[in-house]
Amino acid sequence: MVAYLVKAVFPEHSEQTFSMIVYNNGSKKDVETNVRGDGWRVKRVSMATAADLTEVSPYPQVIRQVKEQAALRRKADAEATRGADAEAERRVKQLAAIEAAHQRAQEESRRYAISKATGDLLSYRLESALFGNTRIASICA
């Protein structure tokens, strides 16, 4: 079994370079192929020294740590997206409420103008089927 020092980037996590020890019986190319198969972008593969074996974490530990961090980042991104969606929905509802209030105010203003135009002599009770310009035409007739 040969120990290799692999420096690679896990694109889903960040552009940070990770160093790890990979134990394999094959060549450097075999190690590189295996690591790339797990989603890593390999920068360099070299034989590990005795100092590397004590200072650098083994591959299974590094990949577990990086995948956990990537999962946490995806979860945080999903929560941020949900928060933005909820905020957008709240704004749409708020704009709809403002528009409805504006429509009600316009209708009240129109009714008030009609009642002032008709005066006290004409009753404001018109047919319920008449709306808008038809109602005004009925009042004027």
Three-state helix/strand/coil letters over 67-78: HHHHHHHHHHHH
Q: What is the amino acid identity at position 16? A: Q
Q: Is the pLDDT of residue 137 over 50?
A: yes
Does this model's pTM top 0.85? My answer is no
The pLDDT tens digits for 38-73 are 888 889 998 988 888 888 989 889 888 888 888 888
Asked whether residue 54 is domain-assigned, the answer is yes
Asked whether residue 19 is domain-assigned, the answer is yes
SS3 of 2, please?
A: strand
Confidence bin at 14 (pLDDT 50/70/90): confident
pLDDT of residue 111: 81
Asked whether residue 98 is domain-assigned, the answer is no
Which residue's structure tokens are 């190319």?
Answer: 29
Asked whether residue 38 is domain-assigned, the answer is yes
Rounded-to-integer distance, Cα 6 and Cα 16, Å: 14
DSSP H/E element including 8: strand 2-9
Q: Is the pLDDT of residue 113 over 70?
A: yes
Domain tally, the chain: 1
Other C-beta atoms closer than 10 Å to the C-beta of 110 total 13
Q: Which domain holds residue 25?
A: 2-60
Rounded-to-integer distance, Cα 66 and Cα 33, Å: 19
Asked whether residue 89 is domain-assigned, the answer is no
Asked whether residue 135 is domain-assigned, the answer is no
SS3 of 119, please?
A: coil
SS3 of 23, please?
A: strand
Confidence bin at 129 (pLDDT 50/70/90): low
